[in-house]
Amino acid sequence: MHRDAQLRALMDRKVASLASLDQLLAGVQHGSRAALKRLYELESRRLYGIALRIARRPEVAADALQDTFVQVWQNAASFSPERGNAAAWLTGIVRYRALDALRKLGREVLSDDPALGDTGDEPDIVAQIDLRLAKDALRRCLDELEEKQRRCIVLAFVDGLSHAEIARRLPAPLGSVKSWVRRGLLSLRSCLEP
Amino acid sequence: MIPDTPEELHVLAGEYVLGVLEPDAAREVAGALAQNAALSRAVRFWEERLHPLSGLASPAEPPAGMWQRIESGIDGAAKPGWWNALWLWRAVAVAATAVAACLALYIAFAPPAAGPSYVAVLHAPQGQQPAFVATASPRGLLVHAVASETAPSDRGFELWAIPPGAKPISLGMMRDDGRLELGTLPPAISPGTTLAITLEPKTGAPHPAPSSAPVFLGTLVPAK
C-alpha cells in the first residue's frame, strides 16, 4: 500500500475520535473521506435548513447542499482555523451555493411563483430574533437598529431576498429598502467593530 | 465598480454577504475577491459577524440518498492540485528535447543493470539545466544531484513519484548530500512516472501530499 494511502487509512480510523469541525476539515484536507462523512453527519441538517430557507424548493436546496460538500472536499485547504470559524465558513458556502442556484433559476421568476408564496404562514423570522438568537454582540447591535433596517437585514440574510424582493414583501419603495439596508449595515459595522 | 473608500467597500461587502445584490453586481464582487484584499477582509468580517443569524433557519433533514449523491459528485470531480496544472505539463513538454539529449549521454556512460531500468533527468519546470538524475532498476532507485542545488536551511528536498493520472506519492527526503537511495523499487515507479522534488519541512516526512509546486521534475523513460 502507498504511504499516503496508509496515512489516510490511519486518519479514517481516527475520525470517530475527532470532535471539532476544525479537526474534521484538517482531515478532509488530507483526503480523508471518513472525515467528510463525519462532517456531513454533524452539519448537513443545519446547512440544509439554511439552503431550504433561501432556495424555498427542496430540489434546489439539495443541489446546493451537494455542491457545498463537493466544494468542501475540493477546497478544504482554503480554510484555516486562524482565519475564521469553521461553521461560519460552511454557512458561507451553502448560502452562496443556494443564492447562485436561485440566480440561475432567475430569482424574480421564482419569487413571483404563487405556489411558493412569499408567505405569511411561516413564523415571522424577525420576531424569532428574541427567542432564538444568543444575547451576544450581534443581538445587541441588531437591537440598536431601527426596526425597518433590522427587518431588511434579517430578511436578506436568512431568506436570501434581494432588494426588490424585500420591497415587495414589506411592502415598501425599492429606494427606501436600499437605503435601510445600507444604513443598517453602516450602523452594524460601527457597533460590531471594537 | 468596486469602490475604494473604506465605508463604501464595507457596504458593498455587506450587501454581497447578505445576498441583496443583483446577479451582475454579485458576480463582480465575487470576481474581485481574489485580487482585492480589503474587499476580501470586509466580506470575511460580515460572514463571521452575521453568521449567528443563520441559526434562525430551522435545521431540516436532507432528502434520502444525499450522501451518495455527494460521493458521486466527488468521484466525478478530481481533487485539484499542482500536479493537474496545465503549465506544469507544458513546461515538461518544452523541456523534453533537452532531457532526451541528456539521457542519451547518460545512458552511453551508465553501467549496465540487470532487468528493465529507467532513467529520468530532473530539471526546474521552466529551465533545461539538469539538477538531478534518477536511475531505477529492479535493484532499487538512486537519485543524485548533478548540480549544486541546495534547499533553504529550514526545509529539505522531498522526492515524489507521480504515476500518470495519479496523485504524488512521497519517496522520502533527499539527503543533505543530494542523494536518495531506495533498496527496492517502489510500485509507483514505471515508465511514464514523473519524479518531482518539492521543498518541504524537514520534519514529518514522508508527507501525505506536497505543499508546494515542484522545484525540479522529470519523467522516467526506459533506459534501453
Q: What is the mean pLDDT of residues A92-113?
A: 75
Q: Give the C-alpha separation, B151 to B199, whole Å.
A: 7
Q: Provide the CATH number for the domain formed by B118-222 in this structure.
A: 2.60.40
Q: What's the whole-number average pLDDT of chain B? A: 82
- pLDDT of B181 reads 87
What ranges do the domains of chain B cover? 1-109, 118-222
CB contact, 8 Å: B20 with chain A?
yes
Q: Name which of A88-102, B84-98, B183-197 the model is least confident about.
A: B84-98
Cβ atoms A60, A101 nearer than 8 A: yes
Q: Which helix (H) or strand (E) holds B130?
A: strand B130-137
Q: Give the C-alpha separation, A145 to A164, whole Å.
A: 21
pLDDT more than 70, % of chain B: 82
For A71, which residue in chain B has the nearest alpha carbon?
A: B74
User: Are B67 and A37 within 8 A, CB to CB?
Assistant: yes
| pLDDT tens-digit map of A139-185 | 999 999 999 999 999 999 999 998 999 999 999 999 999 999 999 99
For B13, which residue in chain A has the nearest alpha carbon?
A: A185
Q: Give the C-alpha separation, A172 to A175, whole Å.
A: 8
pLDDT above 80 for B168: yes
Q: Chain A: nearest CA to B165, how far in angstroms?
A: 15
Q: What is the mean pLDDT of residues B145-161?
A: 83
User: Are A132 and B55 within 8 A, CB to CB?
Assistant: yes
User: Are B18 and A91 within 8 A, CB to CB?
Assistant: no
CB contact, 8 Å: B85 with chain A?
no
> Which of A72, A82, A83 has its CA nearest to residue A27?
A72
Cβ atoms B88, B213 nearer than 8 A: yes
Cβ atoms A64, A96 nearer than 8 A: no
pLDDT above 60 for A119: no
Burial of A151 (0-12, 13-18, 19+ CB in 10 A): buried
Cβ atoms B106, A105 nearer than 8 A: no
How open is the CA angle A13-A14-A19, to the nearest 5 degrees?
A: 135
- pLDDT of A113 reads 46
How open is the CA angle A89-A95-A99, to the nearest 5 degrees?
A: 145
**A133-137, B47-51, B209-213, range with greatest mean pLDDT:** B47-51
Beta bridge mates, B134: B120, B143
HSE-up (13 A, CA, CB side) for residue B30: 15
User: Are A4 and B169 within 8 A, CB to CB?
Assistant: yes
For A79, which residue in chain B has the nearest alpha carbon?
A: B44
pLDDT above 70 for B84: no
Q: Give the C-alpha separation, A103 to A61, whole Å.
A: 13
For A166, which residue in chain B has the nearest alpha carbon?
A: B20
User: Are B10 and A189 within 8 A, CB to CB?
Assistant: yes
